[in-house]
Amino acid sequence: MIEDTVYRTSSQYRFWSFTEDSLRTLRAKTNASASERVRTAIQTKRQSGLSSTGDTPVSTPGSNVATDDGKLKAKEDEIQCLTPEEEQVLVRYYCEQTLELGDVYKPALPTIVRATAIQYLHRFYLTNSPMTYHPKTIMSCALFLATKTENYYMSLRQFAKNIPGGTPEDVIAPEFLLMQSLRFTFDVRHPFRGLEGGVMELNAIAQGMGQPAPHLPHQTPEDLRKDLLSILPQQGQAQRPTSITDRIARAHGKAREILKTAAQVTDVYFLYTPAQIWLSAFFLADKPLAEFYLNTKLGPDQKNQADQSQQQQQNSLSALRGKVLKTITHCSNTLQSYKPLSSDIEQMKNLKRIAKKLYHCQNPEKIGAGVSQKRDASAAGSGVSGAAADSGKAVSESGQTEPVSKKRRLESAMGDGDNKGISGQDLANRVKEE
């Protein structure tokens, strides 16, 4: 089986590969569904606040309740929900925060762990909205899940120590929800391994040990080495490398940095294969070197072939080369268009506006849901409900409550009855009788 055939059997290709149109449609559908639920939940919250009497309604995100002559009135303005584009900006910001969060740990979390966590975030928010589940709560859970799926062991308690204001319970709370949204497919095919393989091939060619492609029998290892050494320097390069190995190493470092940042935050994982992604990053790092590597696989453009069979083979390779170059060009443009949010003042202003908007359109049914569930579960496990604990009452097996003080008096009385036979006077009488 060739590599493409193997990749087509992966869950990433079967479940998480899209065209640009299908990806846009899916996100719009998710946003529309979430917006409808948010509006319904907020309207219900407003109506419940208006129907209550004697109590001042508590202000919640999304509730616009005003008082007029002692009467509560709901504002009639439309509830402004996030657009799909605004949701993407928000998710993108927390993807960048995931990269930074990995540096907090000592030692820093491996690149592969952070990259997997970011892809979990992307996949989660294909079918979920930030208006329903805030990315801040999902981010830490995705990162912890990635430490397990990538075999980088770290205890939950140790992991939670580096989460600002987070507890182990907060980190693990949305894990099952996250796994459900991922369809329990935890495998992520990254482009890092492909990049390492390509660099190894180029280094082998530089040492005269390169292997020509099977359909290019006229090439020899020495010919490949000479062609590699004759590559023109990249345009606009400030400092020329001292050797070809130095040039390969520099291109390797630049391409890997692109894969660690731009490739993670953008949608290229959904739109392209890992091989296409790393080749696109390599094209941005050193285009002449990347074109040479492509020539070793598909052959250079050659015209006026005397042999008709060779001409037909060359035509098929040229057609394939054209398709590959077109795909790589599109992917390279996407990677090159990436700009970190923190590096642009206008983008940060827009992000703050979106964050304020999210506060007012977040689903009130989901706010604090995880905390209340954990609290109730803890109370149920200990046999004491929150209300009973506050009122000083214990819960019996039948569910009825009784004052704790009364229970203690009964236990004390039972204890006195049991110990009556071994009092000091009775013990003395027993000794006399014996």
The residue with greater pLDDT, 329 or 72, is 329
Structure confidence at residue 390 (pLDDT): 40
State the chain's mean pLDDT as an integer.
Answer: 80
- For the cut 80, the answer to whether the pLDDT of residue 293 exceeds it is yes
Question: Residue 147 is encoded by which pair of tokens?
Answer: 């430490």
Tell how far CA 271 is from the center of its chain: 17
Q: Span 254-271, mean pLDDT?
A: 96
Q: What is the spatial distance between Cα 225 and Cα 205, in angstroms, rounded to a whole number?
A: 5
Band of residue 166 on the pLDDT scale cut at 50, 70, 90: confident
Residue 142's identity, in one-letter code, is A
CA distance 223 to 152: 44
- Is residue 135's pLDDT more than 90? yes
Q: Where are the domains of the chain?
A: 20-44+79-187+344-370, 191-231+242-301+316-338
Question: Mean pLDDT across the stretch 134-160?
Answer: 95
pTM score of the predicted model: 0.77
116 Cβ contact list (under 8 Å, min separation 6): 146, 149, 150, 188, 190
Residue 323 has pLDDT above 70, yes or no: yes
Contact (Cβ atoms closer than 8 angstroms) between residue 150 and residue 116: yes
Task: Determine the residue type at 349.
Answer: K
pLDDT, position 26: 97
Give the percent of the chain with pLDDT over 70: 73
CA count, 13 A, side-chain hemisphere, 207? 7
Quick: pLDDT tens for 204-253: 999 988 888 777 777 888 988 998 998 888 776 656 677 899 999 999 99
Q: What does the DSSP assignment read for 274-303? A: HHHHHHHHHHHH-HHHHHHHHHHHH-----
CA distances from 48 to 44, 68, 72, 394 (A): 6, 18, 11, 32
For domain 20-44+79-187+344-370, which architecture applies?
Orthogonal Bundle (1.10)
Tokens found for residue 337 = 């268009």
pLDDT attached to residue 298: 83
Give the helix/strand (H/E) hosting 66. strand 65-68
Q: Which two tokens stand for residue 141?
A: 């859970």
What pLDDT shows up at residue 303? 53
pLDDT surpassing 60 at residue 50: yes
Residue 36, Cβ density class (10 Å: 0-12 exposed, 13-18 middle, ≥19 buried): exposed
pLDDT digits (tens, 9 = 90+) for 93-126: 999 999 999 999 999 999 999 999 999 999 999 9
CA distance 274 to 263: 10
Beta-carbon count within 10 A of 98 CB: 25
8 Å CB contact between 388 and 401: yes
Lookup: tokens for 173: 């709370």
Nearest to 322 by CA among 314, 310, 312, 334: 314
Mean pLDDT to the nearest integer, 331-339: 95
Q: What is the C-alpha separation between 176 and 133, in angstroms, rounded?
A: 13
